[in-house]
Homo-oligomer: A and B are copies of this chain.
Amino acid sequence: MKRLAVLLSGRGSNFLAIHEACATKELPAEVVCVVSNKPDARGIEKARELGVPAFGIDHKQFANRAAYEAEVIATLDRHAPDFVILAGYMRLLSPDFVARFRHRITNIHPSLLPSFPGVDAQRQAVEYGVKVSGCTVHLVDESLDGGPILVQRSVPVLDGDTPEELATRILGQEHGAYIEALRKLCGGYRVDGRRVIFD
């Protein structure tokens, strides 16, 4: 059983899907804690309802990012996670944080990377006029949305789509993509450059 820590800032729909996949044994893992930089995030509330230890650590209460991250890391360390799963976590991680959990942090991004990294990926896609977009689950490295890719799934972009409509269609693929990626990681892997080789 792998131990998963989830970082989130919002409603935590990916967290819920991952938690459910653990409950049904689709994932050989358990969510050992949830941490949010927003103490009032819906995801924190949901975690508590599900009996998952959940911690609101308000970044605005800390003097700087290092102090905030030290508290997050201390919290994570008490739960000894195998993986740190970003699920709508709206803070950038420092290189020190990334190094601390090297090749063990995952993120999901609502575009087919390397297209449209950064914020508002779905709006970027609509404005660029692509006809295919999707989501990417990747290992986190020091770059912005540039780490080794684990899973990608595509969706069509339809004429007249708003960013919100595209976001909804992509979200429909995100949970399955994230669970597929975590299942592969839980089975063992190594990283060779940009390539992740699964056992």
Listed in ascending order, the chain A residues whose CB lies under 8 Å from chain B are 112-116, 127-132, 134, 148-154, 194-196
Contact = CB atoms under 8 A, between A and B. Distances in A.
Closest 5 CB pairs of A and B: A131-B152, A132-B152, A129-B194, A154-B154, A115-B115
Contacts of A194: 127-129
- If over half of A's interface residues share one DSSP class (helix, strand or loop), that class is named, otherwise mixed; here it is mixed
12 contacts: A112-B115, A112-B132, A114-B115, A115-B115, A127-B194, A129-B148, A130-B149, A131-B149, A131-B150, A131-B152, A132-B152, A132-B153
A114 to B, nearest CB: 5
A191 to B, nearest CB: 10
A128 B112 CA distance: 12
